[in-house]
Chain A
Amino acid sequence: MRDRLQEWVPRIVLAPSFAAIVIFVYGFILYTGWLSLTDSRMLPNNEFIGLANYEKLFGLRHWNVALKNLFIFGTLYIVISSALGLFLAILLDQQIRNEGFIRTVYLYPMAISFIVTGVAWKWFLDPGIGLQNTMHQWGWQSFEFTWIKDRNLAIYTIVIAAIWQSSGYVMAMFLAGLRGVDNEVIKAAQVDGASGFLIYRRIIIPMMRPVFLSAFVVLTHLAIKSYDLIVAMTGGGPGRATEMPATFMYSYTFTRNQMGVGASSAIIMLIMIFSIIVPYLYSEIRAGRDKK
């Protein structure tokens, strides 16, 4: 009998965690999904109104601004972070002295809260005391850098700070990828007479495809979730010019008492993330199984 009991111990041990995930992740997703179909305002209620919240959502100017910002931010953030990360990884892969130190410096922003980063960049880009003021002090009186106060340009300052934060991470991913490249392939290319630059362009970088994919997935997921940095740097402003889906959801749900609309925006965010993550995880797990 005790042996039979022993067989159940592993499942019993796993059960609380699994139950927590099922309830607090998947149950909550369903609940939020349901709320998005109800007329919930300050408090949840169960009055079913179909897709009216989604219709309303896509009619809202703020939401469309948020989507447009996400598109601008996401594209620039992903492209520039990947390019810069790859570039730095290649530079660091040239048997650099003090590589460890340089790598540590490139990566430390990932250890810091976006709120802290936001404070630093917020005041550095502030025309009153930051870069513009500094340039004026240095005697360049005509220098002007007021993007953070400009409705049309503020989103780009967030891009700058976000790239600063995560390009080191991308660099580390690419560096790990470069270190995984089989030396013999490179030697073979050298024997074939390929020059250094050509070897990177034709052989090594194409072999980095899985890393590009991982970087893309990780960065997209971070971009869609971006919240802290915006709150810390611009608070969504000036006006609502740097609104993003994450800040939109928060303000509609908790300060504007439009819970149904907030829930529907959260569902849209989930759909965006899952449409990228699910195929990725599926292919990763399948590849992992094939390896065995």
Chain B
Amino acid sequence: MASLTIDKLTKSFGAVDVLKGIDLEIEDGGFLVLVGPSGCGKSTLLNCIAGLEKTTSGEIRIGDRNVEGLHPSKRDIAMVFQSYALYPNMTVRGNISFGMEIRGIAKADQDRAIQEVADMLQIGNLLDRKPSQLSGGQRQRVAMGRALVRHPQVFLFDEPLSNLDAKLRVDMRTEIKRLHSRMGTTIVYVTHDQIEALTLATKIAVLEAGYLQQFGTPDEIYNDPANMFVADFMGSPSMNLIEGRLTASADGLEVVIDSHDDRSISLPVPDSAAMRQHLDHSIVFGIRPEAMTDPDGADRTSSRVVTRDCYIEVSQPAGSDTFALTKLGGKECIARFRADARIELGSFSPVSFNMTKAVFFDPSTKERIR
């Protein structure tokens, strides 16, 4: 087991820069998730760590060892691929033992290692089947078994769950998490699914357009996003980003937001030097749907809940909650009401804003105002 350090990593394909100076570090036994929309460079970064792509500049260290120029098989890593990449012409046993066979490990040791992972993943009864005779979930397990058997320093997962149906995906997510806590091996995991990222990671790196947007714990990423991209990308439904105008009143700073029918609402804003620079300019007010509730559902532990009347256009019951759609700052906003909250459509209803959860952004730079 080892830590992984990535230092000023860049990667270009010809004239196209895919990774533009990535700095990351994950401690020994950590679970790092690389998340971002498709084309953000997350898979390229993973391939660079694996040694499947050459880096353009920068450094990758596994433990204390700089792995630059090392063949993938000598980096002490194992990888699980999106398509599972099981060798179609070999049995499950052959798939798991192929790497050991190449490295010239004695047959008896191979058999012992196979048995060990087969027990761990409960695939003992599948060992003599070909990949084409397995279900998606079984293939997934075999792919993990092939990686586990190497006892690597670092596990690399490239969107391993994206080919599974929704139910199985949740099960396998739990399984991966259990495996991680049992083995304690460092994991780097690529996904475009932000829920996967939040549930699995000890650290999340959000990538977009080759830049590292934010690197932090799931809690930091979710509650304390560094910029509008992270705020919007993480969480489902995503954070409401509402444009308003920052003004000063007797009670301190306020953001004034257009509502329905020429009406507007104003919400208190924490005072700070940075915030005051935006006085009388527009700012973006960010608030998650679960921090906009019906008054009875408001978080009682919060020190700052303010209630304003908002015009409710549509409601979407979703079983455990009901989503209420309202228009604020000219944009559709989602509020999360209790399932049995009474909602009158086409009229003004009180909505409680939990302002301890509110964040603010500069609309021109898209960065957080702290």
- Across the interface, which residues of A come within 8 angstroms of B70, CB to CB? 3
- Across the interface, which residues of B come within 8 angstroms of A6, CB to CB? 71
B88 at the interface (CB under 8 A from A): no
- Across the interface, which residues of A come within 8 angstroms of B74, CB to CB? 3
B14 at the interface (CB under 8 A from A): no
Residue of B nearest to A3 (CB): B71
A6 and B69 alpha carbons, distance in the complex (Å): 11
- Across the interface, which residues of A come within 8 angstroms of B69, CB to CB? 3-4
A6 and B74 alpha carbons, distance in the complex (Å): 13
Residue of A nearest to B72 (CB): A3
CB distance from A3 to the nearest CB of B (A): 5
Q: Mark B275-298, 1 if CB is under 8 A from A, else 0.
A: 000000000000000000000000
A205 and B71 alpha carbons, distance in the complex (Å): 53
Q: Mark A158-179, 1 if CB is under 8 A from B, else 0.
A: 0000000000000000000000
Q: Mark A3-18, 1 if CB is under 8 A from B, else 0.
A: 1101000000000000
Q: Mark B57-83, 1 if CB is under 8 A from A, else 0.
A: 000000000000111001000000000
CB distance from A17 to the nearest CB of B (A): 25
CB distance from A289 to the nearest CB of B (A): 14
- Across the interface, which residues of A come within 8 angstroms of B71, CB to CB? 3, 6
- Across the interface, which residues of B come within 8 angstroms of A4, CB to CB? 69
Residue of A nearest to B54 (CB): A7
Residues of chain A from 1 to 50 with CB closer than 8 A to chain B in the complex: 3-4, 6
Residues of chain A from 67 to 98 with CB closer than 8 A to chain B in the complex: none
A162 and B74 alpha carbons, distance in the complex (Å): 60
CB distance from B69 to the nearest CB of A (A): 6
CB distance from B77 to the nearest CB of A (A): 15
Residue of A nearest to B69 (CB): A3
Residues of chain A from 205 to 251 with CB closer than 8 A to chain B in the complex: none
A6 and B70 alpha carbons, distance in the complex (Å): 11
- Across the interface, which residues of B come within 8 angstroms of A3, CB to CB? 69-71, 74
CB distance from B39 to the nearest CB of A (A): 14
CB distance from B140 to the nearest CB of A (A): 27
Residue of B nearest to A2 (CB): B71
CB distance from B76 to the nearest CB of A (A): 15
A3 and B71 alpha carbons, distance in the complex (Å): 6
CB distance from B94 to the nearest CB of A (A): 24
CB distance from B201 to the nearest CB of A (A): 32
A247 and B196 alpha carbons, distance in the complex (Å): 70
A6 and B71 alpha carbons, distance in the complex (Å): 9
CB distance from A67 to the nearest CB of B (A): 46
CB distance from B158 to the nearest CB of A (A): 20
A123 and B74 alpha carbons, distance in the complex (Å): 70
Residues of chain B from 64 to 109 with CB closer than 8 A to chain A in the complex: 69-71, 74
Residue of B nearest to A4 (CB): B69
CB distance from A25 to the nearest CB of B (A): 29
A21 and B146 alpha carbons, distance in the complex (Å): 42
CB distance from B199 to the nearest CB of A (A): 34
A3 and B74 alpha carbons, distance in the complex (Å): 10
CB distance from B368 to the nearest CB of A (A): 39
A4 and B70 alpha carbons, distance in the complex (Å): 9
CB distance from B340 to the nearest CB of A (A): 46
A4 and B69 alpha carbons, distance in the complex (Å): 8
Residues of chain B from 305 to 322 with CB closer than 8 A to chain A in the complex: none
CB distance from A5 to the nearest CB of B (A): 11
Residues of chain B touching chain A, judged by Cβ–Cβ distance below 8 Å, are 69-71, 74
Mind listing 6 A-B residue pairs with CB under 8 Å?
Answer: A3-B69, A3-B70, A3-B71, A3-B74, A4-B69, A6-B71
The 6 A-B residue pairs whose C-beta atoms are closest, nearest first, are: A3-B71, A3-B69, A3-B70, A6-B71, A4-B69, A3-B74
